[in-house]
Structure 1
Amino acid sequence: MRTERNLTRLDRVFARLDREPERPANIDVPKMSRHRVVLFGATLAFYVAIVWAVAITSWLVRFDWQVMFFRPYQQWPEIHAFLDYYVVLGQRGPTAVMVAAWLGWRSWRQHTLRPMLTLGASLLLLNITVGAAKLGMGRLGPHYAITIGSNEMGLGGDIFPSGHTANAVVTWGILAYLASTPRARRWLSALSAVTSLGVGLTTVYLGTHWLSDVLLGWAAGLLILLALPWCEPLIARAETGLFTLRDAWRARRRRAVPAPVEAPVGSPVGAPVLVKQSVPVDEEAPVRGAVPTARPPRAPVYLAPGPHTARSERTPVTPVGSRRPPHSDRVARTTTTSSARPLTGG
C-alpha cells in the first residue's frame, strides 16, 4: 500500500514559490498613470501644508505640545518594552537588510536585477529628500525642546520629518510596489500601511518625535513610492548596462583561460605530454634555406669493451681504466686452447 507524506504549510509555500517562472516576460512594471499623478499631487500638497502649519506655529504645534505633556509612555507603561522592539521596524539598517534578502532571492530566481535596483533607487531618494529636509528645517525633538509653545525650528535639530516613519513607508511599501499580482499588491499595501502607521505612533509614544514629524514622515515616504515609476527607464538602462558588463567580463575570462591539451592516442596513463610552445619570431633570424649551425659535440660515453659476458666475469670500467688487477690464469672465452673438446665426426 502506497502512502504519501502530508505536506506541511512550509512545504506548500515553497512549492508555490517554485512555480514562479524564471525570467518572466510579463513583469507588471507600474507606470505613471493619471491616478498616480493625482495622488502624487495631493500628497505633495499635504506635505507643504504640514511644513507651513509648523512654520507659522499654528494649532498643529500647540497640539504637538499637548501630546508631549500627556506623556503616553507614562500613561501605558506596560507596552513600553514591546514598543521598544517594534520601533526597530522603522530603522533603516535592519529593515534594509531584511527586505534586501527577500528581493535578492527574487532577483536570483527571476534572473533580473530590477528588484534590487528599485530598492537601491528608493533608499537613495529617501536619504536625499528626507535628509535634506531634516537639515534644512533643523527642528528640535520633544526631549530637547527649549521654549514651550515654540515650533523649535532652525535650532540645529534633525527631527522633522520623522526618519523612522518615512523609512517604514518606503522599505515595506517597496514590497507592494514590486508585487507580481494585483492581489499580492493589495495585501502588501495594507500590511505596509499598518506597519508604518504603528512605527510612527510608537515614536510619538516614546517621546522621540512630535506628531507633526510623523505626519510629514508619512507624506515623505509616500511621495517616494509614488514617484518610482519615473525612475523605471533609468533602472532598465542600469540593468542592461550591468548585464552587458557581466557578459563582456565573462567573454574576456573565457579568452584568458588556455585550451586544455589532449594526450596522444595510445600514450600510457601518467606519461608526460609535450606541449608545443610558440617561440617569438626574431627579426634577425636566419633566412629559410640557410645552413644551420652544427650542434655541440656530446660527451663521450664509456662502455665496457668486448662482447657480452657474465656478470661475474665483468671488470668494472671507469674513464681512467679497469680497477681490477689483471689475472694471468684467466683465459678469455673467445680464445681456443689445446684442452678444448674436439668436434665429433672430424
Structure 2
Amino acid sequence: MSHANACLTPTGRLRLARCVVEDGWPLRRAADRFNVSVTTAKRWADRYRAHGKDGMQDRSSRPRSCRHQTSRRRERRVLGLRVSRRWGPARIAYHLGMNPATVHRILTRYGAVVLRWTDPATGAPVRAQRRRVLRYERDAPGELVHVDVKKLGRIPDGGGHRVLGRVVGSRNSSAHRDPNRPRKVHGRPNLGYAYLHHAMDDHSRYAYSEILADETKQTASAFMTRAIEHFTSIGVTIARVMTDNGSCYRSRDFASVLNDNAIRHKRTRPYRPQTNGKVERFNRILQEEWAYARPYASESERVAQFPQFLHTYNHHRGHTALHGATPADRVPNLAGQYT
C-alpha cells in the first residue's frame, strides 16, 4: 500500500487539480509534472471544480444499474423459503429455477445463519461441529440398498415439548392415556415410539419407508419383503442390502428373506453409522422436513402427512448430490408411485 503523500493518492490528486484550476497551469504541463496522461489530469481537475476536495477520493466501481440483478421480490422468496422451510441454497435454487451460487450470495448478503448451526425444530442458532464426509455412489439402481430404522417419540394430544416448551409439553404428555401401554414409572408418559423402517437405493436415493409399531425381527423381515416387492414393481432388482448390526437384522428371519431373493447382506462396522450415511442423511431430512417441520397437534396428524412427504421427496424434491434431479429421475419404469 502506498503512503498518503505518494503521487496520485488523494493528496497528489489535490495538488494536480489546484495547479490546473487555481494556478492556471495547462493540462499538458500538469500532466508532465505529475507523470500522468492529459486525460487523467483533466479528470481530476474536473472533479475538483465539481466537488472540491471531497472529489479526490476513489469512487466505487459498482455499476449504477444491472439488467441481470435479482429482483427484490425474488430475494424475498429466497429468504422466505429459508425461514419457513429451512432449506439450503441448492434446494431453494432447484425450487425457484435459479443458480445455487446466486441463492448462496443472497443468503450471505442478508446474513442468513448456516443451517448446520441451527436447531432443526426451532431454527434457533446452534453451532455444530464441521465434518468432511467422503461421497461414493453405486453405478445402477438396486446394486446396494441401505436399510435402517429411525425411532421417533410420539406426539401427545395437544402438542409436545419441542414447540410448546417443557412445562406445557410435559403436561400434555402426562395427560396422555393409552390403555394398551401401562406406565412403568409413575409420572412418566406412556406414549411410546414410532419406528420408521427405511429402504433407500444407493444410486438414486429413492426411499421406501413405513411407520411401524416396533423393530422386532418379525417386523423387520416383513418390511423387507414388502420393500423388495415395491422395488421390483418399479423395475429395480436388489442385489445387495446394507444394514447396521441391530438384532433384527442379525436374525434368521431377516436372513431367510434375503436368501430367498438371492440378495447379499452387508453389515456396517460397529459404531460407524457413517458407513450407512445415505440413509442416515435421509433420517435428518425426514426430521427437518416432516417430523419437526411444523407444530403438530397429535401423532395421528403427523402420521397423516408422511405419505405426502415421501412422495415429495421421491418425485419433486431436488437432491443436491444428484445435481438438482429427483430420486425418481434415476429410477426406470417409475410412474404413479405414492399417488
TM-score by length of 2: 0.20
Larger fraction in strand? 2
Larger RCO of the pair (alpha carbons < 8 Å, separation 6+):
1
